[in-house]
Structure 1
């Protein structure tokens, strides 16, 4: 009995060891399977997130394209609606000269000897080439609204404390009606005293026609002028 009990105990120990090893292997296998399932779930979730992001990007891109397309179509419709009006009025760029300086001019007065009576002022063009020296006038090249200005500085050289009158007119002339029309005028004066000086300014917006001539007529007080400028530009 003793001889039989010893082998039996040894066999039991071996079987317990074998059972312990098998259980560890089973636990390890189950753990690996759980890890694979979790990895599969994570991959699936990641894939679904990527699909969602791609779908969102495609939706936003399509929405932007649709919006731009609608905006472009509305702009084209507006252009089509406005085109008849533009065709009737004509494109300003087709009527105007390509040289923008021809649509504005700035003049400086030319000194002259003292004279009596009314006199049209003579000018030198600082920029712009629409000045008629013979008529002493700015010539309007195209119809439009022009801002016309005249600036005249006065000074009395004789210190006798007398008041000297000054009267200036801006006149318009066109061969179509062949008469002078006064657009602006100013009546002023200055006292002949030490350091006595004054500036007379005229400026206004006018609707002028092609071929209009603008010139400055000094009716009285030409000898009081020290310097002056005259100009016009298309607005």
Structure 2
């Protein structure tokens, strides 16, 4: 019995009699293990943080792409009706029936008849003859609209007589009401004893209707006309 007790007590005595160097080594080893675990935890934490940051950036980028993509689709949908609207406002029609295409310039034609009380006869200098009625000596309006009409006449003395009077009138005729309506007029003259020439200009905006005929009537001083021009264009 005594031997048995002695065999069991030896390891205990050995443990109790452990030296201080061995205890320090165990403590150092334990500290090293703790540092390694701390390093692993830091690495794992950094990895998780990197993964979360990458997911956040990816998610944000996907949301932005989806947002701008839907915005572009909406702008395309909003803009797509514009061409069709423009096409409906400006359909393909015969250019001769479009107010915007009226721009005609006329120059007077010498007829040899210089008596007063007649219409000036014209030649088309530029523009379409479609807008000039040679029989009525008038600019023909094909569409309702706002037009600028002008007349320019140069007066010149033909003798050494005293002052000569001049009177011109722009008039309108339409078969719809079959009557001549004066639109505007101008009165001037030239004093052949002191001046040899003079310019007369008339220009004004008019609200005209389809079928209107614009002609230039000379009440007085036809013989004073050296040159004359007239024209009209749509505003």
TM normalised by structure 1 equals: 0.67
Query: Alpha carbons of 1:67 and 1:164: their partners in 2 closer, same or farther (altered >3 Å)?
Result: same
Report if the CA contact (8 A) 2:101-2:234 is conserved.
Answer: no
**Secondary structure of 1:180 counterpart:** strand
CA distance in 1, matches of 2:196, 2:19: 136
Report if the CA contact (8 A) 1:169-1:216 is conserved.
Answer: yes
Match of 2:94 in 1: 97
How far is 1:121 from its partner? 0.8
Report if the CA contact (8 A) 2:167-2:221 is conserved.
Answer: yes
How far is 1:214 from its partner? 1.6
**Secondary structure of 2:153 counterpart:** strand
CA distance in 2, matches of 1:15, 1:137: 128
Match of 1:8 in 2: none
Gaps of at least 5 residues in structure 2 are 1-17
Query: Alpha carbons of 1:142 and 1:45: their partners in 2 closer, same or farther (altered >3 Å)?
Result: same
Report if the CA contact (8 A) 1:146-1:208 is conserved.
Answer: no
Query: Alpha carbons of 1:65 and 1:148: their partners in 2 closer, same or farther (altered >3 Å)?
Result: same
Match of 1:49 in 2: 56
Match of 2:165 in 1: 165
Query: Alpha carbons of 1:93 and 1:198: their partners in 2 closer, same or farther (altered >3 Å)?
Result: same
CA distance in 2, matches of 1:107, 1:69: 48
TM normalised by structure 2 equals: 0.67
Match of 1:29 in 2: 36
Pairwise CA RMSD of aligned residues? 3.8
Residue pairs, 1:102-141, within 5 angstroms: 103-113=102-112, 115-125=114-124, 126-129=126-129, 130-141=131-142
CA distance in 1, matches of 2:90, 2:70: 39
Aligned residues: 208
